[in-house]
Amino acid sequence: MFHSKFLQFTVASCLLFATAGAASCPKTPDLSSFNSSVLPDLFTFLDGKTKVRTLEDWACRRAEMSAVLQSDELGVLPGRPDSMSASFSGNTLTINVTHAGNSITFAPTITFPANSTGRVPAVIGMGGVSVPLPEELAVIEFNNAEFAQQDSSPASRGVGLFYDLFGTDASAGAMMAWAWGALEVTPAARINLERVGVSGCSRNGKGALVAGAFEPRIALTIPQESGSGGTDSWRISDFILSTGILTQTASEIVQENVWLSSNFDQFANSSVDRLPFDHHSLGALVAPRAMFVIDNLGYDWLGPFSSWGAMIAARTAWTALGASENMGISQAANHTHCVFPDTQQPELTARQDTHVVETAGNYTFSVPNAQWAPWNVPRLI
C-alpha cells in the first residue's frame, strides 16, 4: 500500500548539493600519479589534505567527485539543449529536442494511475521497471537503448539519439547519455517534478544509479542488481576476482559494452587503483536524496559483496549529512536475475514508506569497512 512519505523527500533541499561555489573550493591537483588501493576517502579532497567539515565543503567535494567521475569514467553530462518541445497524447509523450543544429524526437510512454488527476509522482523506468510499484505512481518508460545503444563494444559506441544530437565523438558513455535523456522526460504534463524516482535492473540498474547521481531532480533512486559499473566497487571487484570468484571487473566490462566513456579504458586496462574515486563516490552523489539498493546474492558475476562494500561506504555520505534513514541496502538470497523476490517486498515497501531499510539478508561475507573505507565520518553542518 502506498503511503505519502514515498518520494516525499523534496528536491528543493538538495539543490545546495547540486552546485558548488567553484571559486572557494580547493583546487583539484594533477592526478596523473594518483594511486589508492582502498576506496578514496569521501571526506578528504583530492589535494590529499583538506578535510570536508561543513555542508559548503561537501558541496565542493561533491562537485570534485562529479568532475572526476565524468572525466575519467562516465563522460561529460551535457547541459540543457538549445530548445525542446513536448506534447502528450494517449500514453505517449513526444519530445523534440534541438541542439547545435541537430534534432531528435523520442517518445516515452507514461502510464498514469487510473482516475488520477493533478500532478502525480512518477518513476522513470530505465528500460522498464522490474520492482513492484505502488499503484498511485505514474510510470515513465524510458527506452534507454534507443537513446544510447548497449549491444556490444565497440560497435555500439556513439550510436543512438544522444549521439545524433551531441555528435558521435561526445565523451559520454551510454549510461551518461541515458542520464541526460531520462530527465528530459520529466517536464511531462501532470508529473510532480518534486517526486520523481528512477529504477532499472542489471545494466539498466547501472544507468538508474548514474541518473540518480547526476540529476538532482531525482528524489528516489532504486538500482536493482546493477553489479559492476553500478553499485559495485571497481577495487573490491578486482579483489574478489583475485580470490577466484568469477566477478565482473573493469577490465572485462570495457570489452563487453559501452556503458562507460572510452576515457575509462586507460584505468580499466592498467589499474583501477589509479581512479581518484570508486562507485561509493558515485553513490554518494545521490545523498541526501533517497536511495534503495537491491542486490541478489545468487550471482557471483554481479559482485554482491562488492556492492555491499561500496554502498556501505557510500552510506557514510548520508550519515554525514544527517540523512542515513534515506539510504537503504537490501541483499536477498539467490533468485532469478531481475525477478524481484517476495522476500524483499517488506523492505521495498518500508523503503517506499519511510526510506528506512538496511538489511543484509542472508549475507555471509563480513564487511571489511576498516579495510576498504578507513575514514572518519564527520557530521556536516
Please give the grid coordinates belonging to residue 187. 517536464
73 phi and psi angles, rounded to 5 deg: -130, -50
User: What is the C-alpha to C-alpha distance for residues 363 and 158, in angstroms, rounded to an integer?
Assistant: 39
SS3 category, 161: helix
- x/- binding map, residues 29-68, to ligand MCU, per CB under 6 A? ----------------------------------------
- If one asks whether residue 236 binds ligand MCU (CB under 6 A), the answer comes out as no
Annotation says 337 is catalytic: yes
- If one asks whether residue 164 binds ligand MCU (CB under 6 A), the answer comes out as no
Question: Contacts with ligand MCU: how many residues (CB under 6 A)?
Answer: 7
Cβ closer to ligand MCU: 302 or 312? 302
Annotation says 355 is catalytic: no
Chain-centroid distance of CA 146 in Å reads 19
| CA 346 to each of CA 127, 137, 338: distance values in angstroms, whole numbers, following the listed order | 24, 18, 17
- 6 neighbors 352 (Cβ within 8 angstroms): yes
Q: How far is the CB of 298 from ligand MCU (least distance, A)?
A: 12
Cβ closer to ligand MCU: 59 or 250? 250
Q: Of 279, 275, 278, nearest to 266 (Cα)?
A: 275
Cβ closer to ligand MCU: 40 or 227? 227
SS3 category, 99: strand
SS3 category, 335: coil
Single out the residue of 42, 196, 209, 302 in contact with ligand MCU (rule: CB under 6 A). 302
Q: How far is the CB of 302 from ligand MCU (least distance, A)?
A: 5
- If one asks whether residue 248 binds ligand MCU (CB under 6 A), the answer comes out as yes
- If one asks whether residue 330 binds ligand MCU (CB under 6 A), the answer comes out as no
Q: How far is the CB of 38 from ligand MCU (least distance, A)?
A: 24
User: What is the C-alpha to C-alpha distance for residues 200 and 131, in angstroms, rounded to an integer?
Assistant: 8
- If one asks whether residue 227 binds ligand MCU (CB under 6 A), the answer comes out as yes
Listing DSSP states for 47-84 in one string gives TSSPBP-SHHHHHHHHHHHHHHHIIIII-------SEE
SS3 category, 327: strand
- If one asks whether residue 256 binds ligand MCU (CB under 6 A), the answer comes out as yes
Q: Which residue in 202, 226, 237, 324 is the catalytic one?
A: 202
Cβ closer to ligand MCU: 22 or 339? 339
- If one asks whether residue 228 binds ligand MCU (CB under 6 A), the answer comes out as yes
Cβ closer to ligand MCU: 202 or 251? 202
User: What is the C-alpha to C-alpha distance for residues 303 and 175, in angstroms, rounded to an integer?
Assistant: 19
Q: How far is the CB of 223 from ligand MCU (least distance, A)?
A: 10
Residues at the interface with ligand MCU (CB under 6 A):
202-203, 227-228, 248, 256, 302
Catalytic residues: 202, 337
